[in-house]
Amino acid sequence: SYELTQPPSVSVSPGQTARITCSGDALPKQYAHWYQQKPGQAPVLVIYKDSERPSGIPERFSGSSSGTTVTLTISGVQAADEADYYCHSADSSGTYLVFGGGTRLTVL
């Protein structure tokens, strides 16, 4: 199997920048995607293909990739951004997909 590793939690004050990392051996070869999930709701895609932003997602959400790590950056964090965030990608063969364990973003 294959694993993606995320920090369990990240905390920031309103207006600051939050960075959530996701590490995996196949990330240099495979795109990663990011999802936001609020309690009791279905996940929402916020970044796809490492750094592309779907329509309707605020510009303060951005993504980047460097080697075996991808990063979701939320600039000017707002209280509404408090949620769980998950990365998603595939192994090097492209036949086994996986989610990271999730990161709870707390807005202080």
The yes or no reply on residue 76 touching another protein (CB under 8 A) is: no
**Three-state DSSP class for residue 73:** strand
Region of 17-25, 42-50, 70-78 interacting with another protein (CB under 8 A): 42-50
The yes or no reply on residue 92 touching another protein (CB under 8 A) is: no
Q: Which of 45, 51, 60, 68 binds another protein (CB under 8 A)?
A: 45
Angle at 24 between CA 21 and CA 64, to 5 degrees: 45
Q: Which of 15, 28, 54, 76 binds another protein (CB under 8 A)?
A: 54
The yes or no reply on residue 21 touching another protein (CB under 8 A) is: no
The yes or no reply on residue 99 touching another protein (CB under 8 A) is: yes
Q: What CA–CA distance (Å, rounded) separates 36 from 10?
A: 14
Q: What CA–CA distance (Å, rounded) separates 25 from 38?
A: 28
Q: What CA–CA distance (Å, rounded) separates 45 from 38?
A: 12
Q: What CA–CA distance (Å, rounded) separates 25 from 10?
A: 22
* Residue placing its CB nearer to another protein in the complex, 13 or 55: 55
* Residues within the interface to another protein (CB under 8 A): 1, 30-31, 33, 35, 37, 42-45, 47-49, 54, 84, 86, 88, 90, 94-102
